Amino acid sequence: MPSSAFPSWLECLTCSRKYDLGKVRYTCDCGGLLDLKRDLGKADGRKLVSLWEKRWGLKSGVESSGVWRYRELILDVPDSKIITKQEGNTRLYPAGRAGKYAGIKNFLLKHEGENPTGSFKDRGMTCGITAAGIYNAKCVACASTGNTSASMAAYAATAGIKSVIFIPSGKIAYGKLAQALAYGGLTLQIDGNFDDAMTLVQEICGKLNIYLLNSINPFRIEGQKAICFEILQQLDWKVPDWFVIPGGNLGNNSAFSKALMELHELGIIDKIPRIAVIQASGANPLYTMWKNNKPFAPVKNPETIATAIKIGNPVSWEKSLRGIKWSNGVVEQVTEQEIMDAKAMVDAAGIGAEPASCCSVAGAKKLVEAGIISKDESVVGILTGNVLKDPDAVINYHTDQLKNIKGTFANSPKSIKATLEAVKAAL
């Protein structure tokens, strides 16, 4: 059974009931979400940091992965059981032009689109698929807005496990659909949106003994924590003032806060950075709840060009909220125009990312304008997916063909004659 280097168990967020790790379980009997908890009472934070520093830059072996480098706080499994693609080890770029646009001097962008399948999902997936193997799963499944399916299909292929993908029909970016097919996932396009796919996959996994690899799976969250560990290691464990993170199903920011809670408990950090979760205004249930101080209510027909976060009923909203409150964080929403203009700036900075990712920059700008983030604070934004995931969004923005979104910073292609004069005129 999977375990952690420290005594560990699953614990319900709602009723605190504990479960051992011997049996597959995604939720509590009460319906609550489960956390992988570990007893860090005997852990030595300094020793852990020095171990992680020694592993930095390893050329091979599981600890050369930007997830398994932190294996003590991920999963305790023998090397031979770990399915890894040396994920992580992604760059932390000065935001350049995108920083000026957001109005922040010290703005870094962590590019999770540089992972093996082009999104941050690989970090959670290496851990999830490793757990699947330990539980002897023969088949794994997920509902996806695209990136989870691409990642799961690739990792399942590496592990030699069958994968089944549930995607909303016609509603995922082409690059992602291409990946799912290429890596050999059985791809089922369902007649419904992501939330319908999520409901269906949970039912199917329960009834057909298929291992569920959405971020409701607590091991996915464990792997995803490594984004936060790696950023802090890149910053020599100096904690920024803010992390700004796009929010869809809300697993990623939940992983960030969990990582920070553990580092804080271990005494590795003493400052707690503030977490800002940014949603698209057409898929904003967490924002609406936060802003109006009301109970959580799903958004029925979510709509946004940032298809990765077109989610109306995010499964991890309670974990997300716990972390936002703990970190004195905030939730913001951004419009379609704000997402695509911020994306144009991220792209023009030579960094490039898919639309959902650029909520970080659009959201940071908005929070600076609102006086919530100060211009002098240090901010790390997370770019969750690669620019090539959604070429349609790029081309349509730059040729000003998007409905209700202007190509404010469009760099449209020009057709010219094949002559020197024509080139000179174009220059």
What residues line the site for ligand PLP (CB under 6 A)?
Answer: 119, 145, 147-148, 215, 246-252, 308-309, 354, 356-357, 384-385
129 binds, among ligand PLP, Zn ion, none (CB under 5 to 8 A by kind): none
Find residue 108's DSSP bridge partners.
Answer: 94, 380
Q: Rounded distance, CA 405 to CA 396, Å? A: 10
Nearer to Zn ion, 13 or 311 (CB): 13
- Site membership for Zn ion, residue 28 (CB under 5 A): yes
Q: How far apart are the first and last CA of the chain?
A: 63
For residues 3 and 21, what is the distance between their CA atoms, to the nearest angstrom?
7
Q: At closest approach, how far in Å is the CB of 309 from ligand PLP?
A: 5
User: What burial class does residue 290 get, using C-beta atoms within 10 Å of its C-beta: 0-12 exposed, 13-18 middle, 19+ buried?
Assistant: buried
Nearest-approach distance from CB 255 to ligand PLP, in angstroms: 8
Question: In the numeric block, which tokens belong to residue 267?
Answer: 């005494």
Segment contacting Zn ion (CB under 5 A): 12-20, 131-139, 213-221, 376-384?
12-20
Assign 97 to helix, strand or coil: helix
**Contact partner at residue 28 from ligand PLP, Zn ion, none, CB < 5 to 8 Å by partner kind:** Zn ion
- Say which amino acid occupies 104: I
State the angle between helix axes of 251-265 and 317-326 in degrees (0 to 180), rounded to the nearest 10. Answer: 40
CB of 354 to ligand PLP, least distance (A): 5
Q: How many angstroms separate the CA atoms of 52 and 66, rounded?
A: 10
Q: Which residues is 71 bridged to in the sheet? A: none
424 is written with which tokens? Answer: 């000179």
Residue tagged 């909220």 (tokens): 321
Judged by beta carbon, residue 35 or residue 114, the one nearer Zn ion is: 35
Least CB distance to ligand PLP at residue 368 (A): 21
Of 12 and 226, nearer to Zn ion (C-beta) is: 12
The binder of 17, among Zn ion, ligand PLP, none, by C-beta within 5 to 8 A per type, is Zn ion
Told to check if 30 binds Zn ion by CB under 5 A, we report: yes
Nearer Cβ to ligand PLP (205/255): 255
> Which region, judged by CB under 5 A, interacts with Zn ion, from 24-32, 204-212, 330-338, 356-364?
24-32
Q: Which two tokens stand for residue 145?
A: 């807005």
Q: Tell me the number of residues near Zn ion by CB under 5 A.
A: 7
Please tell me the chain's helix, strand, coil percentages from 3-state DSSP, rounded to the nearest 5: 40, 15, 40
Residue whose CB is less far from ligand PLP, 62 or 216: 216
- Enumerate helices (H) and strands (E) in the chain, giving the number of each: 15, 13
* CB 345 within 8 Å of CB 73: no
Closest to Zn ion by CB, 30 vs 208, is 30
User: Which is closer to Zn ion, CB of 17 or CB of 417?
Assistant: 17
The residue with tokens 């298809």 is 307
Q: Quick one: tokens of 222?
A: 């464990």
Q: Which does 323 bind (CB under 5 to 8 A by kind): ligand PLP, Zn ion, none?
A: none
Find which of ligand PLP, Zn ion, none residue 384 binds, CB within 5 to 8 Å per kind. ligand PLP
Tell me which of ligand PLP, Zn ion, none is bound by residue 95, counting a contact when its beta carbon lies within the kind-specific cut-off of 5 to 8 angstroms.
none
Instruction: Choose from ligand PLP, Zn ion, none: what does 15 bind? Cβ within 5-8 Å by kind.
Output: Zn ion
Rank residues 99 and 248 by Cβ distance to ligand PLP and give the closer one.
Answer: 248
Pairwise CA distance, residues 407 & 100, whole Å: 19
Q: With CB cut-offs between 5 and 8 Å by kind, which of ligand PLP, Zn ion, none does residue 251 bind?
A: ligand PLP
Binding site for Zn ion (CB under 5 A): 12, 14-15, 17, 28, 30, 32
